[in-house]
Amino acid sequence: MLISWVSLLGILLAATVGLTDPELQAVLRGEIPTRTESFVSDSGKSAGRGIGAVVIDRPLAEVWSVLCRYEDKAEYMPRVEKVVILDAKPDRLRVRMQVDASVTTARYTAFFQLDEAAHAIRWTLDKSAPDNTIVDTIGSYELHPVSAERTLLLYRTWVDTGRSIPRFVHDYMSRRSIPNLLRAIKKRVESGGTWRK
């Protein structure tokens, strides 16, 4: 059986961005596919990381400029209540976040590495911050051009709250919260930075 060049290109693109071919096809149709994948954290703990993707109808540079600006995240990101930039360098930010975590308020400080050449923002918990209310977090935004005017945003996140939460509850929350976050980013970028929650 022969695979068409279009199918092969789709499979290669899906592998490059870290999505399955069905996920890539879904995101290109305007859907927001999400899933949970297992991984082992730096502490050796087995965990589940939430993954989601969305296509934003704007050039990559425009999406990048919104994503790497942290001072206005509380205006449009779901559950984010307060953001304080503690230290800013061109390629790295240290930021204190306050997030409504449903039954409690999560407060933590994280390092955000801005890798413009790779079109990626990666974050890790600043474990030296004395007021963290979570044990750990890692995550990333990765941007991939779909065309000159469209950008695929791939989001990965993992949070260790320090509390025992059943896996099915964690997976359910990821499936609900990730699409809400990605829709909010899409609205913010596509509105020229004016959309608010």
Q: What is the pLDDT of residue 18?
A: 83
Q: What is the pLDDT of residue 171?
A: 53
High-pLDDT (> 70) share of the chain, %: 80
- Residues 9-27 have a mean pLDDT of 74
Please measure the distance between the N-terminal and C-terminal CA atoms of the chain and give it in whole angstroms. 50
Q: What is the pLDDT of residue 2?
A: 42
Share in percent of the chain as helix, strand, coil (round to 5): 30, 40, 30
- pLDDT above 50: residue 139: yes
- What HEC string does 83-112 produce? EEEEEEECCEEEEEEEEECCCCEEEEEEEE
Q: Where are the alpha helices (DSSP H) in 1-69?
A: 5-17, 21-28, 60-67
* Paired tokens of 114: 């801005």
Q: What is the pLDDT of residue 14?
A: 58
Tell me the pLDDT band of 21, cut-offs 50, 70 and 90.
Answer: confident
Please give the domain boundaries of the chain with CATH numbers for all domains: 32-190 (3.30.530.20)
Q: What count of residues does the chain have?
A: 197
- pLDDT above 70: residue 167: no
Q: Where are the alpha helices (DSSP H) in 18-104?
A: 21-28, 60-67, 73-76
Tell me the pLDDT band of 196, cut-offs 50, 70 and 90.
Answer: very high
Of 29-38, 41-50, 79-88, which one has max mean pLDDT?
Answer: 79-88
**pLDDT tens, residue by residue, 49-101:** 889 999 999 999 999 999 999 999 999 999 999 999 999 999 999 999 999 87
